[in-house]
Structure 1
Amino acid sequence: MRPVDPRLLRYAASARAFFAAGGVLALGQTATIIAFSWLVTQVIVGAIGGSPLSALLPSLGALAGVVAVRFALGWLSEYNAARGAAVVKSELRRRVLDAVTRLGPGWLGGRSSTAVGVTAGPGLDALDTYFSKYLPQLILTAIAMPLVVLTIWSQDWVSGLTVTLTLPLIPVFMILIGWATQTVQQRQFERLTRLSTAFLDVVGGLSTLTVYGRQHRQAARIREVTEEYRTQTMKVLRVSFLSGFALELAASLSVALVAVSIGVRLIDGSLGLGVGLFVLLLAPEAFLPLRNVGAQFHAAADGVAASTSVFEILDEAGATGAVSTWGAVPTEGAAGAEAVDAGLEVRGLGVRYGEAVAFAGLRASIRRGAVTAVTGPSGSGKTSFVHALLGFVPVEGRMLVGGRDVTDDPAPRPWLAWAGQRAALVEGSVLENVALGDDEPDAARARAALDLVGGAGIRLAERIDPRGGGLSGGQAQRVSSARAVYRARALDCPVVVFDEPTSALDGGTEAEFSRSLRALADEGRAVIVVSHRPAVTASADDRLVFALPEAAHPLAVAAGLPAGPLAGSPAHAAAHSPGGGVA
């Protein structure tokens, strides 16, 4: 295990400032260590030699000053460690969120979302001890140990040789202990992930488990995982205590060898008291940083085990750039002002999940100022089409908005507003949910967006609890739809996508929502609505119908759609749109 993963410096630029400040502080601490030993030696030798107190006062005053400076440097080192841990954790969490956004639901669907949440949450908290205990000692070791050893060599080569020969004993013990520590620490982190995942899964499905009488079995499962975590934690503590004892023993024996050598030479007069005492005071300081590094190795293993999972996510996403923000300014040609009437054009668009083909070869032109209904049976590729627009999945082919290629645009895409199948609400007011991501929510715009989608009876000040509760299913869906309208108007998005927006609405409200889609399209936007509801598809101007072709993979969809307003080849024609196009 590497003490410092190079990816830490790549993904957390603030860590570089931590190491730079730590190096300066370590250099200052080393100077105070040497100065303290030298001043103490001068005072003791002077006192033994019969020097009056007045002659010792300057050295005593300097000694008090060195002690104060050393205390201040120690406090600054702790402050630097605490601040470094907080800033690095924050930066890594932002990057993880950005990476998950880049990877999209397709990637997250193959993993436990709870495990990812534990990694980015409690997992990264392990960096606190890593930064506060291990890394400061590692920096101090790299700077203080060679300087102290060189100082000892300059005063007494015999002691310098003894220290140089015995110092490697500690790294040997550290390597042996490190292998055991890394293994048990990794297992402990895995147990923590399992425990957190099991607990959150049970809490999320508790109502279903209770109805079917299975809640007691899940309680037994949580007890079993908790016991595993407790056992693994005790193993980590045993290894930590044993490692500390072994390193203390090795360092004590090494210092004892130096002390015996100095004592023998002081008796026979071959070594002066001043030199002997100075070297004897410095000898423990040569071993102390390295000994502390070994003692804190379990903290390093804990932090590295936690951060490794984060780095794997970031490596997979290639998230080395800056984190995007909701209010990103559209690049030239992305906004509606420069878009042509074609709105959204797809050329040979396709999505694959490994060997499975969601759809392929899709060619269509979706008009601005029109409502386009995307229909088809489940599994035909409708959701994958939406994910392709959002940039959540790798795609084949190209997508153009207003003639500009937007296939590889990073998220969030300023030309697109979207409301998903499920109303993902966050804790806060309705206004904060409608204007999600806007640093300065516009209450008037939010009110207009809610009114447009049939949410006139929903108050902007209405509170939503941490679980997204406080609203009915239909109200939550309208808040989600209003969020897309708000974004479309705030960023002047030329394309707006609604994924099953009326699944929780009654017939009357559904008809009202269809009129809202028409009003949004009249603003000059290409409105795309994915729906199985006949009333919604019947009110659309155009239809893009996905189909399951015969003798094909169940995830495949009809391809080969030539250019034109939703025109398709007769072999794959599934439905005629009111506007005359075929999909």
Structure 2
Amino acid sequence: MAQETEKRAEGRWMRSLRPAGGWPLALGMAVPLVSGALLVWQALTLARVLGRAVGEGAPLTALTPDIALLCALLLARVLLGLLGEAAAGAGSERIKLALRRALFRRLLSERPDWSANRASGALAGALVEQVEALDGFFARFLPATLAAAVLPIAFAAVVIPADWVVGLLFLLTAPLIPLFMALAGWGAEAASAAQAEALARLSGRFADRLRGLVTLALLGRGEAEAEAAERSTDELRRRTLRVLRLAFLSSAVLEFFAALGVAGVALYVGLTYLDLVSLRASPLTLEAGLFCLLMAPEVYQPLRTLAAHYHDRAGAKAAVHEIAAVFEHLPNLREAQELPTQTRLLPGGALGIEASALRIRAPVGSRKILAGADLTLAPGAQAALLGPSGIGKSTLLEALVGLRETEGTLRLGPVPIGAVSREELCHRVAFLPQRPHLFTGTIRDNIRFADPDASDAQVRRAAERARVLAFAGTLPLGLETPIGENGLGLSGGERHRVALARLYLRDPSIVLLDEPTAHLDAVTEAEVLQELLRFTEGRTLLVATHSARVAAALGRALRLEGGRLLPVPHPLAPLEDAA
């Protein structure tokens, strides 16, 4: 029951996306109806031309106006078909763009611990493949659904004045086709859901294995993983073929009943002309009989089109279910486009940090990193954060910059952290993680990342303060030396110094550093620390470290232990034990 309720909710959500398609989608859905009206006119004109030519022996010159009208109607329907297809496609693109923006906005608004619990391949698959799977539903299935709901009944109503038996036959046979299509469609929907799930698993496996390719090669697991990927690909192939098989079955059901309907009309008209069937009060004219025969296949054509695109609906529903599973809930496009929530600006100058009954859980599992901890750093205060590796120092710093979900009270100055916008946090709080990310480019480009408008002199000054020039000056290209993704080509200490140089291009109120002097020798550490303390004078500073020199230089230390923050009277003593 819960699963059925969930499916109905997903179906309603999928239909609620239709307004995002705007006027192009509305035009794409209306064009088939206009084309259907022209089709009736075309069939009447063609029946009149044939009836006058065959029954009355009218010359070609007398038929020329009707033939010209017939050609104009054919050309108009062709142009309308192209217009409707282009408009529906444009409306579908609008919906996909709006949905991708909403999902991407959701992805960016979540904290790193949210995305860390999800396979990056599954997230990418939902943003790309699953959203793309909605294209057929909006561009083809929705226009076909409206045409199939309106045109067969309208065609039957138009045919009734010409012959009520044929019109009644259309009204009785046309509803049977969607009924049997739905029966086949249930199986197609289940198969599409399994296929979408297999595609998500394959995407996740590919992304994860690509990220760990070097590790897999070093462990000799390359061949085994290739075989596993081949099995996953083969499973996806089988599921895809199962979806196609059910889609062909649905089309075969429609063709069978459509053929029966057309054959029934042809048989009735033929027997009526032979006077073997007499259900009419007046004789059936050649023009009326031709009109009925011409309209017979057209009555079922909208249903044929619907059957051809019926699997698009099943694929779209499976894609929506997969998006809901990856992102936990489906976004509301209207809410995603509404005005941003009210935020508060942080006051100028140095900011203090105040936490009360702060609780932080591990990203995976229920282990508590902090359990009701209290922290108070006055504006401009400086402190070291101590504790053994893995105790949660990095997680605490991430929470203080808004990158982790917390419970309890956490304020930056007088403002709760939840009321501070991301832009304000990025501007006022500087955070250097334990593994800073460097991108492919030059050393200068990586430093300038903190301030794209910084001049070359400012970048050079920042590099000098972070002691980057100490190693970059020995390189032939200096700061123009190219490096690879994640600092490839630099040592651990050099990567830290490049990332630290970014700090000197900013003007933060709070500075949070995670092992800023790791991998540095004693002389370089002392130089980097001296410049860092000079820069952070008057700013609030919290440094997670194992270094006795850093803790001693800051003067105040806090130890993370047992889920609480405890003051350390003499920082040097416990650090010597930890070393």
Common topology (TM > 0.5): yes
Contact 1:347–1:361 (Cα < 8 Å) also in 2: yes
1:115-130 alignment to 2 at 5 Å?
A: 115-130=122-137
CA deviation after TM superposition for structure 1 residue 546, in Å:
1.5
Contact 2:27–2:88 (Cα < 8 Å) also in 1: no
Contact 1:398–1:407 (Cα < 8 Å) also in 2: no
The AA in structure 1 aligned to 2:107 is: V
CA change 1:283–1:117 in 2 (3 A) is same
In 1, distance between residues paired with 2:12 and 2:486? 38
CA change 1:540–1:79 in 2 (3 A) is farther
The 10-residue stretch of structure 1 (347-356 or 458-467) with the greater mean CA deviation from structure 2: 458-467
CA deviation after TM superposition for structure 1 residue 241, in Å:
2.5
CA change 1:432–1:251 in 2 (3 A) is farther
Aligned to 2:46: 40
In 1, distance between residues paired with 2:447 and 2:342? 20
In 1, distance between residues paired with 2:337 and 2:571? 41
Contact 2:434–2:516 (Cα < 8 Å) also in 1: yes
Contact 1:149–1:286 (Cα < 8 Å) also in 2: yes
The 10-residue stretch of structure 1 (343-352 or 176-185) with the greater mean CA deviation from structure 2: 343-352
Determine if the alignment matches structure 1 residue 105 to structure 2 residue 112: yes
1:106-185 alignment to 2 at 5 Å?
A: 106-153=113-160, 155-185=162-192
> Which residue of 287, 304, 307 maps to 1:294?
307
User: Percentage identity across aligned positions?
Assistant: 31
Contact 2:344–2:415 (Cα < 8 Å) also in 1: no
In 1, distance between residues paired with 2:19 and 2:535? 43
* Counterpart secondary structure, 1:539: helix
1:295-334 alignment to 2 at 5 Å?
A: 295-314=308-327, 316=329, 321-322=335-336, 333-334=345-346
CA change 1:65–1:130 in 2 (3 A) is same
CA deviation after TM superposition for structure 1 residue 171, in Å:
1.7
CA deviation after TM superposition for structure 1 residue 429, in Å:
6.2
In 2, distance between residues paired with 1:385 and 1:12? 44
Alignment TM-score, normalising by the size of structure 1: 0.80
Determine if the alignment matches structure 1 residue 19 to structure 2 residue 20: no
* Counterpart secondary structure, 1:345: strand
Aligned to 1:564: none
Contact 2:344–2:419 (Cα < 8 Å) also in 1: no
Contact 1:159–1:279 (Cα < 8 Å) also in 2: yes
Aligned to 1:224: 231
CA deviation after TM superposition for structure 1 residue 167, in Å:
1.7
CA deviation after TM superposition for structure 1 residue 252, in Å:
1.7
CA change 1:164–1:3 in 2 (3 A) is farther
Greater Rg by CA = 2
Determine if the alignment matches structure 1 residue 531 to structure 2 residue 545: yes
CA change 1:229–1:168 in 2 (3 A) is same
In 2, distance between residues paired with 1:157 and 1:467? 77
* Counterpart secondary structure, 1:5: helix
CA deviation after TM superposition for structure 1 residue 92, in Å:
2.7
Aligned to 1:79: 86
Unaligned 5+ residue runs, structure 2? Answer: 1-6, 276-281, 573-579
Instruction: Note the alpha carbon deviations across 1:218-262, whole angstroms, 9 max, x for none.
Output: 222222222222222332332232322222112221222233333
Aligned to 1:517: 532
CA deviation after TM superposition for structure 1 residue 163, in Å:
1.6
Task: Report the RMSD for the aligned CA atoms in angstroms.
Answer: 3.8
Instruction: Note the alpha carbon deviations across 1:179-235, whole angstroms, 9 max, x for none.
Output: 221222222222223333333333333332333333222222222222222222332
Contact 2:557–2:567 (Cα < 8 Å) also in 1: no
Aligned to 2:512: 497
Determine if the alignment matches structure 1 residue 389 to structure 2 residue 400: yes
Contact 1:449–1:483 (Cα < 8 Å) also in 2: yes
In 2, distance between residues paired with 1:11 and 1:378? 48
In 2, distance between residues paired with 1:170 and 1:467? 59
In 2, distance between residues paired with 1:386 and 1:294? 57
Instruction: Note the alpha carbon deviations across 1:421-456, whole angstroms, 9 max, x for none.
Output: 333345566676556698x75555666655554444
In 1, distance between residues paired with 2:342 and 2:556? 28
In 2, distance between residues paired with 1:536 and 1:119? 45
In 2, distance between residues paired with 1:449 and 1:317? 45
Contact 2:343–2:420 (Cα < 8 Å) also in 1: no
Contact 2:152–2:302 (Cα < 8 Å) also in 1: yes
CA change 1:130–1:539 in 2 (3 A) is farther
In 2, distance between residues paired with 1:576 and 1:107? 38
Contact 1:453–1:481 (Cα < 8 Å) also in 2: yes
In 1, distance between residues paired with 2:550 and 2:350? 23
In 2, distance between residues paired with 1:451 and 1:266? 101
CA change 1:16–1:267 in 2 (3 A) is farther
Instruction: Note the alpha carbon deviations across 1:507-547, whole angstroms, 9 max, x for none.
Output: 4544444345334424x543333333334333335434321
In 1, distance between residues paired with 2:450 and 2:138? 32
Q: How many residues align?
A: 547
CA deviation after TM superposition for structure 1 residue 331, in Å:
5.2
Aligned to 2:278: none
1:38-77 alignment to 2 at 5 Å?
A: 38-48=44-54, 49-77=56-84
In 2, distance between residues paired with 1:82 and 1:501? 52
In 2, distance between residues paired with 1:436 and 1:280? 72
